[in-house]
Structure 1
């Protein structure tokens, strides 16, 4: 982590009916240990008391700026519009993004997410684990987040960044306006984070942050319906990834599908085929036992190391089913 603050920062948070989360998590952002920064909160047509709360806090904190979006049929409402309004209101070039239901792991978060000394770096990708709660849904959400993080952070390290998460990422305001913001995918409800990174990140202008103090914890979905809606939005955005990224990600899914399909198919064949399939499955679990526990611990999910063989299968089934639902279900999806 850099020992000095290089340049000022604008933190951008979009909120729609997030009064409870703002009350709980906004203080951890406002009280960051960083010499010069502002927090821009965009209130997107909330009716739950968010407006009154933010107005009161804006008077208490000089570095808090509130942007209010009113109901208006003349513009296309959605998170991308809210993000754009927040970016326009930001007074600094380096923008750090998070959500209303998120809290930094430490008060030095902004030191880690600040603009690097290398001026060629336009984008910094952070990591955002979900908080631990009871139940299978929570375990599945956290495991899926782990798998996604290993993918996008790993590919970024190899010089092929393809996505980031809006709960913890940063980029230059000048980069946003130079590329006309979200104009190319404004019609997609999601993608304010991953589609922007997919379009503009490359091996020369992107870095990642994995320091524990750079993490941002997030509140997970508490219902299966909410999680399904979230994944449906992500599925829609993935269709607009660059061709090479879609090919690589699709190949991963196909290989996993073929692996489990091979195992299931062998169960209906001879005893020898069953033993062969069982041996291959056991070997894959043994190999993962040497890899997954260390990665899970590094990414704050050490408690899942005993459950990953089961979660791996459940996640594959869930994503397969959700993929079919996303393709044939209703197309309209709102961000809140």
Structure 2
């Protein structure tokens, strides 16, 4: 087989992109796939405050709040912050607060002097919490079991300030749902895998925990209060390290969430996340950008090879097939571990679709309107 210089350059570039991709697959994601999942502790050590922020969440609170209040944990409180709701949330919470001694409601009123957002609501909830160990979730979230708190409690190691949990989305019909769940899967594989390697860079507010003392010692969200997102990932990015952060993988500690039902809602959500990512630490932005750029280049070089000779096309196809085979070795186990087993046969196709969608969304986010609210 004789190849031209251009074909050799393109195939070499394609192979190099594969090597970079394999670093993430084999040295980050595979580490998570092989990690030992510890059993949920049988006893509780310290009291817990759960923080939930709600803005017009009456239906979700009616459906899921009881599952949070009924956790099998000896001493905990649930602090629900009602952020200027007008859909009946206030009346519902007032009635439930009278019936549940461990429910505390914090009410935020409209104030023309400032624009309140989720970070303000979270801060009010933290101030109202009476315990040092804080567990965070959202109004539209459902704990996988009554042992959720038992696994998200403060670890025995007093040096642990942050615990990162996992929150999959519920399965619904349609391509959008499959895409959302697949994107959530890869986001979780990344942040949990890097945390295992000693480089935690984000967490999700639907299921995470940290110390109240850490929040106030680090001045809360002061460094990024000017943007609407980042109450979860930016706080973790700024304060998590290899010594003070742990992860939880046991399925009892998962928290299920309702996914977006519309493309517009999903685009809005990803736009908020895109804005927060700009404020990550430089080393985190570098390695995450490297991951995205070489994925883009991999597909770009592959498409370029399709316009060359048949020999070059066969060689490029072989490199693509090798990439798929290696990922087929790693990701089905991870999909099962993270409650997305039904996607294992579709991941090569979803991988390409997700990449195209997020590339388009990133482009639109750079030129779209800057103002984005949390609700």
How far did 1:75 drift? 2.7
Q: Residue deviations 1:112-132, cap 9 Å, x none?
A: 000011111000000000000
1:147 paired to 2:194? no
Question: Given the alignment, which residue of 214, 223, 232 partners 1:175?
Answer: 214
TM-score (norm 1): 0.99
In 1: Cα distance, 2:227 partner to 2:211 partner:
22
How far did 1:149 drift? 0.5
Larger Rg: 2
How far did 1:188 drift? 1.0
How far did 1:273 drift? 1.7
Structure 1 gaps of 5+ residues are none
1:49 counterpart residue number: 88
- Secondary structure at the aligned position of 2:355 is classed as helix
Question: Given the alignment, which residue of 184, 209, 229 partners 2:268?
Answer: 229
1:251 counterpart residue number: 290
How far did 1:73 drift? 1.7
In 1: Cα distance, 2:114 partner to 2:98 partner:
29
1:12 paired to 2:51? yes
How far did 1:105 drift? 0.3
1:133 paired to 2:172? yes
1:91 paired to 2:136? no
How far did 1:17 drift? 0.5
In 2: Cα distance, 1:73 partner to 1:85 partner:
18
Q: Residue deviations 1:248-269, cap 9 Å, x none?
A: 0000001100100011111122
1:333 paired to 2:375? no
In 2: Cα distance, 1:9 partner to 1:230 partner:
29
How far did 1:229 drift? 0.3
In 2: Cα distance, 1:131 partner to 1:247 partner:
32
How far did 1:311 drift? 0.2
In 1: Cα distance, 2:290 partner to 2:47 partner:
41
TM-score (norm 2): 0.89
Q: Residue deviations 1:193-230, cap 9 Å, x none?
A: 00000000001110000011110000000000000000
How far did 1:278 drift? 1.4
1:280 paired to 2:331? no
Q: Residue deviations 1:124-174, cap 9 Å, x none?
A: 000000000000000000000110101000000011000000000000000
Size of the aligned set, in residue pairs, is: 336
1:187 paired to 2:237? no
- Secondary structure at the aligned position of 1:66 is classed as strand
How far did 1:4 drift? 1.2
1:218 paired to 2:257? yes
Deviating more after overlay: 88-97 vs 281-290: 281-290
1:298 paired to 2:321? no
1:103 counterpart residue number: 142
Moved over 2 A (4+): none
What is the Cα-based RMSD across aligned positions, in Å?
A: 0.6
In 2: Cα distance, 1:179 partner to 1:73 partner:
28
1:319 paired to 2:358? yes
In 2: Cα distance, 1:111 partner to 1:50 partner:
28
- Secondary structure at the aligned position of 2:300 is classed as helix
- Secondary structure at the aligned position of 1:306 is classed as coil
In 1: Cα distance, 2:226 partner to 2:312 partner:
49
Question: Given the alignment, which residue of 186, 192, 198 partners 1:159?
Answer: 198
1:23 paired to 2:52? no
How far did 1:76 drift? 3.1
How far did 1:272 drift? 1.6
2:161 counterpart residue number: 122
Structure 2 gaps of 5+ residues are 1-39
